[in-house]
Amino acid sequence: MFFPIVIIGKPIIHFLTYRNVDSKIKTRRFLSRVLRDHYRSIDLYLPYRFTRREFAFIYMGGSGMHRPVGFSTRDDVVDFFRKKTPLHAYYSTAYYSDPSVPMKEKDWLGADLVFDLDADHLPGGEELNYPEQLKKVKKKTNLLIHDFLIDDFGFDEDELHLYFSGHRGYHIHIRSKKILDMSSEARREIVDYITGVGLDIGEILPTEDIEVDRYMEYKKIAKSPRLPDENIGGWGKKMRKMTVQLLERWEVMDKSSVIEEMKEKHKVGDNTAEGLYEELYEEGKWSRIVEEGVLDVFKEKGKVNVNSFLEILKGVLEEKNIMEIGSEIIGTTDEPVTGDIKRLIRLPTSIHGGSFLFVTPIAINEFENFDPLEDAVPRCLSKEKKELKINEMPKLDSMEIGGEHIEFDEKMIVPEFAAPFIISKFKAKLL
């Protein structure tokens, strides 16, 4: 039996310190086992032409990044992962004649085009909890894929390779001969297009000649703006789409709410807002804009004219297309990634050491139903219960992880498959 002598509190302090150290060791051993079991059980993804790619790794407890690493065979890669069990694994978007030599000696052969969308870069993203971040960045990823990469740039779905990043976002890799040897400058022009750099509403809206006055055989002709044609692509298509959506939304709102929105959001004066509403909805001219694309439907004298409405459309374009579709996409996209022709990106099927979810390949036609907290949980984990102590309480009371409802508390018992995520994301420890 142990009896404390002289310093009464010392044995207790020693016991608590020992228990804390033991918890750290226990947690680290558990995460190491998860890495080992994951890499022994998965069919490891190897990128296209992997022998021409540089690989890089970070290890648990290690300092710095281990690079450059090159592989000659699939067996070499699989054996490496099973023995080294990296905490983070990356590969180059570029192809090299010899990827294992230092960067200054590398002979560059081309590169994939990559978009890295991260919820951490969303405007206001730091105020969102984790599931909210995932939901918002998923929406932006879908917009980038369909509104820009497929609709505007004409890439085929089979040229786009989509992956959950393992943490807060998505990676889109484009493998195509069209972009293989594209320079950094050319890749940044793609970013500029998506963000609407230099975009002018006058360049988007077409015009038509209309007769505004006549004297005998003489006609006075003026240029009248129109909505872009229904079959047009690019920003013109987005302009038409957002204008139609705005008019349809206003049509089902009450008059006072529409007028208030015009005044508050679009800085339209009282009389002009009143006149716009009367012309658009009390006289029914909004439907002609939608059906025929005609914008010159307003009175040229009095409360309102076409220029008043054009100012609203300009605001819609900037807010809904450039800011929401464009700037927020590239706000969530790490812009240097897209322009960088020698970038490292996370290896699909590898564990992300900041979440212990794995980088997950996703078919584009299955993206809508993809749930990271269900589909990216390592499949090597069981339902065995683990007791945890959380040091940093999350911004929410509960989450769905692996199909199970998890209630957060300072001390909690969770299934094994949820434990690595909670440990790495919220600095929890095993008890």
Q: Is 60 exceeded by the pLDDT of residue 23?
A: yes
Query: Taking residues 388-415, what's their average pLDDT?
Result: 92
Q: Is 90 exceeded by the pLDDT of residue 404?
A: yes
Q: Is 50 exceeded by the pLDDT of residue 240?
A: yes
Tens of pLDDT, residues 25-38: 999 999 999 999 99
Q: Is 90 exceeded by the pLDDT of residue 134?
A: yes
Top-ranked range on mean pLDDT: pick from 62-66, 274-278, 386-390: 386-390
What is the b/e burial string over 54-66, where b = at least 16 CB atoms within 10 angstroms of the residue's CB?
Answer: bbbbbbeeeeeee
In angstroms, rounded to a whole number, what is the distance separating the alpha carbons of residues 293 and 230?
Answer: 9
Within 8 A by CB and 6+ apart from 50, the residues are 71, 74, 77, 91
Q: Is 50 exceeded by the pLDDT of residue 192?
A: yes
All CATH 1.10.8 domain ranges in the chain, comma separated: 201-330
Residues of the chain with pLDDT > 70, as a percent, come to 87
Report which of residues 317 and 404 the model is more confident about. Answer: 404
Q: Is 50 exceeded by the pLDDT of residue 8?
A: no
What's the length of the chain?
Answer: 431
- Residue pair 426/390 in contact (Cβ under 8 Å)? The answer is yes
Tens of pLDDT, residues 224-238: 788 888 888 888 888
Sheet of 169-174, strands arranged across: 113-118, 169-174, 160-164, 360-362
334 is catalytic: yes
Q: Is 50 exceeded by the pLDDT of residue 1?
A: no
Q: If we measure between CA atoms, which residue out of 349, 329, 366, 262 comes closest to residue 118?
A: 329
Tens of pLDDT, residues 351-380: 999 999 999 999 999 999 999 999 999 999
Check residue 10 and give its pLDDT. 46
The residue assigned the tokens 């988007």 is 204
Provide the Cα torsion 129, 130, 132, 135; round to 10°: 170
Check residue 349 and give its pLDDT. 98
Q: Is 90 exceeded by the pLDDT of residue 218?
A: no
* Identity of residue 380: C
120 is catalytic: no
Q: What share of the chain is helix, strand, coil (3-state, %, to 5)?
A: 45, 20, 35
Helix runs in 42-89, H state only = 74-84
Check residue 2 and give its pLDDT. 42
Report which of residues 373 and 323 the model is more confident about. Answer: 373
- Residue pair 39/51 in contact (Cβ under 8 Å)? The answer is no
Top-ranked range on mean pLDDT: pick from 9-18, 65-74, 185-194, 311-320: 65-74
Tokens (6 digits) for 146: 């369909």
Which CA distances in Å does 329 have to 68, 137, 140, 186, 233?
A: 31, 8, 6, 19, 19
Query: Taking residues 148-162, what's their average pLDDT?
Result: 91
116 is catalytic: yes
Which one is catalytic: 112, 116, 147, 340?
A: 116
Entry pTM: 0.80
* Identity of residue 13: I
Which one is catalytic: 118, 147, 296, 340?
A: 118
Which one is catalytic: 147, 296, 334, 340?
A: 334
Tens of pLDDT, residues 245-303: 889 999 999 999 999 999 988 888 888 899 899 989 998 889 988 888 888 777 665 56
- The CATH number fitting domain 25-193+332-430, selected from 3.10.20.30, 3.40.50.1370, 3.40.50.720, 3.90.920.10: 3.90.920.10
Helix runs in 196-252, H state only = 201-204, 234-251
- 3-state class of 79 per DSSP? helix
Alpha-carbon Rg for the chain, nearest whole angstrom, is 29
**For domain 201-330, which architecture applies?**
Orthogonal Bundle (1.10)
- Calculate the average pLDDT of the chain: 86
Residue 92: count of CB within 10 angstroms of its CB: 25
Within 8 A by CB and 6+ apart from 64, the residues are 58
Check residue 294 and give its pLDDT. 82
Cα of first residue to Cα of last residue in the chain, in angstroms, is: 25
Query: Taking residues 319-330, what's their average pLDDT?
Result: 54
All CATH 3.90.920.10 domain ranges in the chain, comma separated: 25-193+332-430
Q: If we measure between CA atoms, which residue out of 84, 169, 172 comes closest to residue 355?
A: 169
In angstroms, rounded to a whole number, what is the distance separating the alpha carbons of residues 119 and 132?
Answer: 9
The residue assigned the tokens 């230099």 is 198
- SS3 letters for 365-416? HHHHHCCHHHHCCCCCCCCCEEEEEECCCCCCCEEEECCEEEECCCEEEEEH
